[in-house]
Amino acid sequence: MPMTSRTVMLVDMESFYAGVEKSRTKAYRDRPVAVVGEPSVPSSAVLAACNVAKRHGIKTGERLSSALAKCPDLVAIRPRMGEYIEISTLIAGILEAYTDLVEPYSIDEMFMDVTGSLHLHGGSPERLARLVQSRIAIETGVRARFGIGSNKVQAKLACDLVAKRTEQGIVRIHNKKDWETLIWPEPIRHMWGVGSRMEKHLLALRVLSIGELAQTPLSKLKKRWGVNGEVLWRVANGMDDSPVSPWAKREQKQIGTTITLPRLYHKSDEVGTVLLELCTEIGRRARRMKRMGDSLSVGAGGEGGYRRSEGFHRRGRLPDPSDITAELYREALRLFREGWDGTPVKRIHLSLGGLVSSEIYQPSLFEDRERQRLLDRAMDGIKDRFGETAIVRGYSLTKASQAQDRAGKIGGHYK
């Protein structure tokens, strides 16, 4: 593993949502706190749990009912996404005081390359990390953890696999020996980029740890998984040439959204109402991005999620790339009816893929697509000016509608 002269940090906010809530309310400081999608719904998921709650065995993603069984005194709080985004932006500003190379990875994780500015702050990465950690704690009340290495892979795994387990929350990979000592013994499922499906494939090859993957012949991995095999091998060996850049733009391949319904929907027309609202939302996002999609995916699941035994996914190709709500809805409804077996629906997923520019599109001899486009854009203009619910379709006045509820949320969670 070649070590370069770069110094890259991954800054991760510990139990971010829960940390913000605990810093906001002093009475919560020593209590078990969890941020939950909807505290009034027992099946709602835990989005974040503080360290006190984690000591009771509460994990991110588990149901509130399960969490309360482990810890009856748990304080369950509804998320306030607007404030979390504001705090995340504030933290990014703190990092930018030390380097202009700050790249957000998620709302609570950010990379920073301090190679060119480290000498301005004493020359020690650990010392700089402690300084930034202190500033974040003082200005936001949130505790940050730092993984430090010579590239993003090293920084990410140092943070995820080591720093999170230390009291100080700061770990640096100095050299190859550090990597092999700290990272290689970890189970393969802990490696960045290895999901449950890939873990099964690797275990079948008797690759149990990150170190064993790193020492697997590259040719063997490339033969089985092509480019993905090489990516896995490079991560396991701590290799990464990608820059830390605030201008890094990833080409968006699809626009998607998921909704968890407040109750089980038993009727097709109830689900149809929600599908229409999701198509309206995705169509509007596509139009705002000046994109159209040529394929649509629909998924539906019951209480247990989208596992094959409890739900389905269907994907269909549109006759022509589209951002027109009516066309998206027509295809979404067809896919749902094709895949649904009558099992009560709790979750619905919709995504528009194959995005292309909307500046050039195919007119139709048999449908007035331009009229539909003008109608959609007129509705967009009203929503932009007066709010999401200023104009809605008649379906959104029924009991099945979720338009009013979603209008008050960001990313599916309350603002």
Contacts of 98 (CB under 8 A, 6+ apart): 112, 114, 117, 121, 128, 132
What pLDDT shows up at residue 3? Answer: 45
The top-scoring range by mean pLDDT among 28-32, 146-150, 344-348, 350-354 is 146-150
Place of tokens 């038993």: 266
Give catalytic status of residue 14 as yes or no: no
Is 90 exceeded by the pLDDT of residue 64? yes
Q: Quick one: pLDDT band at residue 381, thresholds 50, 70, 90?
A: confident
Cβ atoms < 10 Å from Cβ of 306:
16
In this predicted structure, what is the pLDDT of residue 307? 40
Mean pLDDT, the chain, rounded, equals: 86
3 contacts: CB under 8 Å, gap ≥ 6: 150, 175, 176
Structure-token pair, residue 162:
């080591």
For residues 90 and 11, what is the distance between their CA atoms, to the nearest angstrom?
Answer: 14
Average pLDDT of 403-412? 56
Question: What is the average pLDDT across 94-112?
Answer: 92
Tokens of 18: 């829960």
Band the pLDDT of 308: cuts 50, 70, 90: very low
**Backbone torsions φ then ψ of 360, nearest 5 degrees:** -125, 125
C-alpha distances in angstroms, 129 versus 15, 134, 371, 396? 18, 8, 57, 50
Lowest mean pLDDT among 102-106, 178-182, 186-190, 363-367: 363-367
Specify the pLDDT at position 306. 40
Average pLDDT over residues 267-292: 91
**Does residue 15 register a pLDDT over 70?**
yes
pLDDT over 90, % of the chain: 54
More confident residue, 133 or 391: 133
pTM, rounded to two decimals: 0.67
Which residue has 């709500």 as its token pair?
A: 325
Q: CA-CA distance, 220 to 204, in Å (whole number)?
A: 14
Mean pLDDT of 271-279: 91
Give the per-residue pLDDT at 305. Answer: 42
CA dist 353 → 48, 185, 257, 359 (Å): 30, 39, 12, 17
Tokens of 177: 């020996």
Encode pLDDT of 127-183 as tens digits.
999 999 999 999 888 999 999 999 999 999 999 999 989 999 999 999 999 999 999
User: Dihedral (C-alpha) 138, 140, 142, 145: value to the nearest 10 degrees?
Assistant: -70
Compute the radius of gyration of the chain from its Cα atoms. Answer: 24
Closest-CA residue to 270 (of 335, 330, 344, 341):
344
- Least confident among 15-19, 213-217, 258-262, 362-366: 362-366
What the chain holds in terms of domains, given with CATH numbers, is 8-14+82-182 (3.30.70.270), 16-81 (3.40.1170.60), 188-236 (1.10.150.20), 254-414 (3.30.1490.100)
- For the segment 210-239, the average pLDDT, to the nearest whole number, is 94
Report angle CA 184, 185, 187 to the nearest 5 degrees.
Answer: 100
Q: Which long-range contacts (CB under 8 A, 24 or more apart) does 189-197 make?
A: 190/160, 190/161, 191/157, 191/232, 191/235, 191/236, 192/153, 192/156, 192/157, 192/160, 192/235, 193/231, 193/232, 193/235, 194/232
Amino acid identity, position 49? A
Residues 24 and 142: beta-carbon distance below 8 Å: no
**Which residue among the candidates 21, 38, 96, 109 is catalytic per the annotation?**
109
Q: From CA 336, how far away is CA 326, in angstroms rounded?
A: 15
Instruction: Return the pLDDT at 227.
Output: 92
Above 70 in pLDDT, residue 363?
no
Per-residue confidence (pLDDT) for residue 392, from 0 to 100: 65
CA nearest to 372, candidates 271, 292, 256: 292
Q: What is the pLDDT of residue 75?
A: 95
Quickly state the pLDDT bin for 2 (edges 50, 70, 90).
very low
